[in-house]
């Protein structure tokens, strides 16, 4: 579990840095939605996150509709998706 | 063309491929049959709110509604509240959607079911085919009626300008309900030429896959943001005939990088929801814009307007234009109060008014960063005087009242706004408060 936790913190830092957010990475509620009500991200941010993820973790995010909703459902979901898909 | 003229639903020949659904090509004949089948399922009266994400279903829906003599409401903003507002304000009788939606009107899911051969109906050129929306100064959706003749004329002009032949595959990354996306990815196949691509295309990998899945020649219709993301990811694209960009100014450096990487000309469209696409240029050939055939710009000291074939009156533009020889023009900036982000326009004064209307906010102002006109990732900032409120609470109060792209980032809480002796805001001090580290190139 420790790997997952530290990856979550790493992804929080990545998101805050890539998007120049005005929050500290540890302030992001890992269960809150990234878009809309939670962090309030939008489609410009989604592209930025996709770019940052491809550079850092070596794989591409895709628009497979429902999948995509789940991936961006929360920081935790995004970190889990990265864990599963990152280049070894 | 005279307003009493009639134009067919499509000018494509029955055997021509009008769309690609996945790897399946759809001919005009099959498209018309599917349109007729859906038209038969529609309520007796419109208007109909269409927010299908699948571009082909969006087109079948639009065409079915049009063939019944009804009006389609197009909202680029898909937030439930905005859709509900539009449905209510414009008396929508039903909505066409391919995703889950909770709306105050019945939701119909268009399915593309092959039916018997169907006619290609004639539509009066003066009939309003669609209503597109912009945000008014107070955030309410402002309608812009699109006569059928104007939409057809725009598609023909674009096909001529960009050399779109019947075999061109058009992959778009912009929503079908955004005016730019509607014109280039729905109207172009319907009346210009080329075959649309149905699937969801947003991320760099989607773009590469979608292009690889359609036959050459390929036309990519996209935005500066997505071009930047594709180039930044380093993902390879199959050979392209051309790239079209709009929604934000394209940095010539990005255009040069794209032309070098993809070996295709990068073209930009100038337009607005009110007028549609009205001019184009190849970014690397300089800053002169070439009006679309039949489109005339009137440029005066105090502003410019454009006369568009099929639209009843000249449309005022929110940019400052500089005339050049042979009807061409240069963009000399925007009117100071108007900003454009993520393909949507808003007035800083209007946003400021919404901000200061929030309960608990005593004073406040919306600011645009210095690089707003050439950085597609730029964000607006807000300075707020609201004792006891956090930036988070300010954003929470604005959410739902302001398009997400215009939510302020950052929100800076201050004791008072810097004003001079006559109460006028000091712009340089405002900027220093909002961006204390100076202008950042993001």
- Provide mean pLDDT across the span B1-23: 88
Mutation for A interface: B52, B79, B202, most A CBs within 10 A: B202
pLDDT at B333: 72
- Provide mean pLDDT across the span B89-97: 93
pLDDT at B441: 47
- Provide mean pLDDT across the span B403-420: 87
B64: left (phi over 0), alpha (psi -120 to 50) or beta: alpha
- Provide mean pLDDT across the span B389-407: 85
- CB-based contact A20 B229, cutoff 8 Å: no
Of chain B, the percentage scoring pLDDT greater than 70 comes to 96
Chain B residues in contact with A65 by the CB 8 A cut-off are 53, 99, 200
**A37, A44, A54 ranked by CB distance to B225: nearest:** A44
Tokens 């299908």 found at: B52
Of residues B11 and B341, more confidently modeled: B11
Asked if pLDDT for residue B442 goes beyond 50, the answer is: no
* CA–CA separation, B131 and B69 (whole Å): 14
Mutation for A interface: B198, B233, B248, B407, most A CBs within 10 A: B233
Rounded to a whole number, what is the distance in Å from the CA of B395 to chain A's nearest CA? 9
Of residues B380 and B378, more confidently modeled: B380
- Reported as a pLDDT band with limits 50, 70 and 90, residue B23 is confident
- Provide mean pLDDT across the span B316-320: 88
- CB-based contact A40 B411, cutoff 8 Å: no
Chain A residues in contact with B232 by the CB 8 A cut-off are 51, 55
* CA–CA separation, B422 and B319 (whole Å): 29
* CA–CA separation, A7 and A2 (whole Å): 8
- Provide mean pLDDT across the span A38-47: 78
- Provide mean pLDDT across the span B214-220: 97
Residues of A with CB under 8 A from a CB of B: 20-22, 36-37, 40, 42-44, 46-48, 50-51, 54-55, 60-65
- CB-based contact B233 A21, cutoff 8 Å: no
Asked if pLDDT for residue B231 goes beyond 60, the answer is: yes
A60-84: pLDDT as tens digits: 888 875 566 778 889 999 999 999 9
All domains of chain A, ordered by start, with CATH?
2-85 (1.10.1200.10)
* CA–CA separation, B401 and B399 (whole Å): 5
What is the interface pTM, i.e. ipTM, of the complex?
0.81
From B117-121, B303-307, B331-335, the region with the lowest mean pLDDT: B331-335
Rounded to a whole number, what is the distance in Å from the CA of B233 to chain A's nearest CA? 6
CATH superfamily of B338-434: ANL, C-terminal domain (3.30.300.30)
- Provide mean pLDDT across the span B49-64: 95
Please report, for chain B, the start and end positions of each structural domain, with discontinuous segments joined by +: 6-334, 338-434
B4: left (phi over 0), alpha (psi -120 to 50) or beta: alpha
What end-to-end distance do the CA atoms of chain B give, in Å?
A: 47
B169-202: pLDDT as tens digits: 999 999 999 999 999 999 999 999 999 999 889 9
Asked if pLDDT for residue B240 goes beyond 80, the answer is: yes
pLDDT at B247: 86
Fold of B6-334: Rossmann fold (3.40.50)
Asked if pLDDT for residue B278 goes beyond 90, the answer is: yes
**A40, A42, A61 ranked by CB distance to B203: nearest:** A61
């Amino acid at each position: 579990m420790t790997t997952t936790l530290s990856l979550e913190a790493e992804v929080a830092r990545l998101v805050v840095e890539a998007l120049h957010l005005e929050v500290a990475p540890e302030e992001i509620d890992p269960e809150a939605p990234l878009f809309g009500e939670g962090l309030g991200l939008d489609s410009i941010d989604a592209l930025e996150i996709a770019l940052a993820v491809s550079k850092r973790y070596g794989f591409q995010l895709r628009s497979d509709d429902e999948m995509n909703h789940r991936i961006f459902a929360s920081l935790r979901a995004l970190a889990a998706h990265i864990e599963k898909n990152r280049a070894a | 063309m005279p307003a009493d003229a009639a134009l067919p639903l499509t000018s494509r020949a029955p055997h021509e491929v009008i769309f690609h659904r996945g790897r399946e090509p759809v001919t005009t004949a099959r498209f018309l049959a599917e349109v007729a089948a859906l038209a038969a399922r529609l309520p007796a009266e419109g208007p109909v709110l269409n927010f299908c994400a699948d571009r082909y279903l969006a087109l079948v829906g639009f065409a079915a509604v049009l063939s019944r003599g009804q009006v389609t409401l197009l909202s680029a903003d898909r937030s439930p509240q905005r859709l509900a507002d539009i449905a209510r304000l414009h008396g929508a009788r039903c909505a066409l959607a391919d995703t889950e939606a909770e709306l105050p009107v019945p939701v119909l899911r268009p399915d593309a079911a092959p039916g018997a051969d169907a006619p290609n109906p004639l539509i009066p050129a003066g009939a309003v085919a669609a209503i597109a929306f912009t945000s008014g100064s107070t955030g309410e959706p402002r309608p812009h009626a699109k006569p059928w003749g104007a939409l057809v004329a725009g598609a023909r002009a674009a096909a001529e300008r960009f050399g779109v032949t019947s075999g061109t595959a058009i992959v778009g990354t912009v929503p079908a309900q955004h005016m730019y996306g509607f014109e280039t990815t729905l109207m172009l196949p319907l009346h210009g030429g080329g075959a649309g691509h149905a699937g969801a295309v947003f991320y760099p990998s989607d773009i590469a896959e979608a292009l690889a899945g359609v036959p050459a020649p390929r036309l990519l219709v996209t935005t500066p943001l997505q071009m930047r993301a594709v180039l930044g990811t380093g993902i390879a694209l199959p050979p392209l005939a051309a790239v079209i960009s709009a929604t934000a100014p394209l940095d010539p450096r990005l255009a040069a990088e794209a032309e070098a990487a993809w070996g295709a000309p990068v073209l930009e469209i100038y337009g607005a929801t009110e007028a549609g696409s009205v001019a184009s240029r190849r970014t690397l050939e300089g800053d002169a814009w070439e009006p679309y055939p039949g489109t005339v710009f009137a440029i005066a000291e105090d502003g410019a307007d454009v006369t568009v074939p099929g639209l009843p009156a000249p449309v005022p533009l929110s940019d400052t234009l500089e005339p050049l020889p042979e009807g061409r023009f240069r963009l000399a900036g925007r009117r100071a109060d108007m900003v454009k982000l993520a393909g949507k326009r808003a007035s800083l004064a209007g946003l400021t008014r919404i901000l200061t209307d929030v309960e608990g906010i005593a004073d406040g102002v919306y600011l645009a960063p210095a690089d707003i006109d050439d950085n597609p990732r730029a964000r607006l900032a807000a300075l707020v005087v609201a004792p006891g409120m956090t930036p988070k609470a300010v954003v929470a109060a604005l959410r739902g009242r302001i398009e997400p792209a215009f939510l302020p980032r950052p929100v800076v809480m201050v004791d008072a706004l810097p004003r001079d002796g006559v109460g006028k805001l000091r712009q340089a001090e405002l900027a220093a408060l909002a961006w204390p580290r100076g202008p950042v190139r993001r």
